[in-house]
């Protein structure tokens, strides 16, 4: 199940765990990333709470947890090479995996069509 947030994160939920990243639209808006800071494995995150930081040449931006849970795994590859987020934001450029606090929480997030409408309205 692929879901999106209005803060331009995507998450793919399988077996109670969500893989989280930023959308292609967000990656394009941010520009070339030069630094990524990821949460520690085992950290509990609140829905909408700060989970990661990305920095472009110009500015730093927060990445929020789209859902409550516990960080189960992080993608060290994007820390080593932040450009992966720009080249493959919705694939190899994933950020972290969250073990969901409650399995149904993702249902209320945006589906792909709703997210596409949202970014079309923004631009």
Partner 1 sequence: MEDNANGDAPGDLKRTPLDDLHIANGGRLVGFAGYDMPVQYKAGILKEHLHTRAAAGLFDVSHMGQLVISTPDGDVRKAALALEKLVPADIAGLGIGRQRYTYFTNDAGGILDDLMVANLGDRLSLVVNAATKEADEAHLRANLPGSIKVERLERALIALQGPKAEAALARLAPDCAAMRFMDVRELDIDGEVCTVSRSGYTGEDGYEISVPVAIAEPLAKALLEMEEVEPIGLGARDSLRLEAGLCLYGSDIDDTTTPVEAALMWAVQKVRREGGDRAGGYPGADVVAAQLKDGPDRLRVGLKPLGRAPVRGGASIYATESGGEAVGVVTSGGFGPSFGGPVAMGYVPAKLAEAGNGLFAEVRGKRLGVETCKLPFVEPGYRRN
What residue ranges bind partner 1 (CB under 8 A)? Answer: 31-32, 34-35, 37, 53, 55-60
User: Rounded to the nearest whole angstrom, what is the least distance from the CB of residue 83 to partner 1 in the complex?
Assistant: 9
**DSSP strand pairing (9-14 vs 2-4):** antiparallel
For 62-89, b/e burial (b = at least 16 CB within 10 A) is: ebbbbbbbebbebbeebeeebebbbeeb
Closest contact distance (angstroms) between CB of 17 and partner 1 is 27
The nearer residue to partner 1, 34 or 103, going by C-beta atoms, is 34
Closest to partner 1 by CB, 33 vs 100, is: 33
Sheet holding 60-64, edge to edge: 33-37, 50-56, 60-64
For the bound state, the minimum distance from the C-beta of residue 41 to partner 1, rounded and expressed in Å, comes to: 18
When the beta carbons of 16 and 88 are compared against partner 1, the nearer one is 88
Q: Please, which residue, 1 or 34, has the CB nearer to partner 1?
A: 34
- CA atoms of 111 and 97, how far apart (whole Å): 19
């Amino acid at each position: 199940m692929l879901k999106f947030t209005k803060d331009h994160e995507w998450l793919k939920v399988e077996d109670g765990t969500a893989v989280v990243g930023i959308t292609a639209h967000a990656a394009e808006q941010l520009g070339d990333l030069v630094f990524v800071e990821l949460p520690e494995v085992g950290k509990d995150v609140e829905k909408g709470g700060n989970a990661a930081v990305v920095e472009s040449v110009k500015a730093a931006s927060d990445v929020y947890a789209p859902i409550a849970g516990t960080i189960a795994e992080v993608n060290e590859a994007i820390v080593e090479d932040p450009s992966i987020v720009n080249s493959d934001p919705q694939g190899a450029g994933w950020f972290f995996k969250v073990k969901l606090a409650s399995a149904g929480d993702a249902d209320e997030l945006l589906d792909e069509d709703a997210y596409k409408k949202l970014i079309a309205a923004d631009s």
